């Protein structure tokens, strides 16, 4: 698992803990909903093939975080940005690997 993906998961968990600690048990419903959305996003991310599609998915997630700031979506913006950076890095590595395999400089 890339370091940026690990950072994304850590930031997500930190946001969940922070919100629950700050608000209390009233935040459990929202935290649970965020966890479901995060799990669904992870599953979709695993199913998406191709580095370009992963970059597009991650970029849409960043936009979604900004749009859903009403529900404190900005807490997840660093995690979404880390996911986007991981997707872009993966795409670059894919291109480099492809170029090496085919002898292109």
Which pLDDT band holds residue 86 (cuts at 50, 70, 90)? confident
CB 16 within 8 A of CB 34: yes
Q: What pLDDT shows up at residue 39?
A: 79
The pLDDT of residue 18 is above 80: yes
Residue 102 three-state SS: coil
- Convert the pLDDT of each residue in 32-79 to its tens digit: 888 887 777 777 777 777 778 878 877 887 777 666 666 555 666 666
Q: pLDDT-based confidence at 31, cuts 50/70/90?
A: confident
CA dihedral 63, 93, 49, 65 (to 10 degrees): -10
Q: How far apart are CA 9 and CA 80, in angstroms?
A: 10
Q: Across the chain, what does the average pLDDT equal?
A: 75
CA angle (95 as vertex; 4, 40 as ends), nearest 5? 45
pTM above 0.85, yes or no: no
């Amino acid at each position: 698992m890339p370091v940026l993906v690990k950072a994304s998961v850590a930031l997500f968990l930190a946001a969940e803990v922070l919100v629950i600690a700050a608000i209390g048990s009233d935040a459990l419903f929202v935290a649970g909903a965020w966890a479901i959305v995060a799990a669904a996003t992870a599953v979709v991310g695993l199913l998406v093939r191709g580095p370009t599609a992963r970059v597009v998915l991650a970029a849409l997630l960043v936009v979604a975080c900004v749009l859903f700031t009403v529900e404190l979506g900005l807490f997840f913006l660093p995690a979404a940005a880390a996911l986007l950076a991981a997707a872009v890095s993966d795409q670059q590595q894919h291109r480099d690997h492809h170029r090496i395999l085919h002898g292109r400089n």
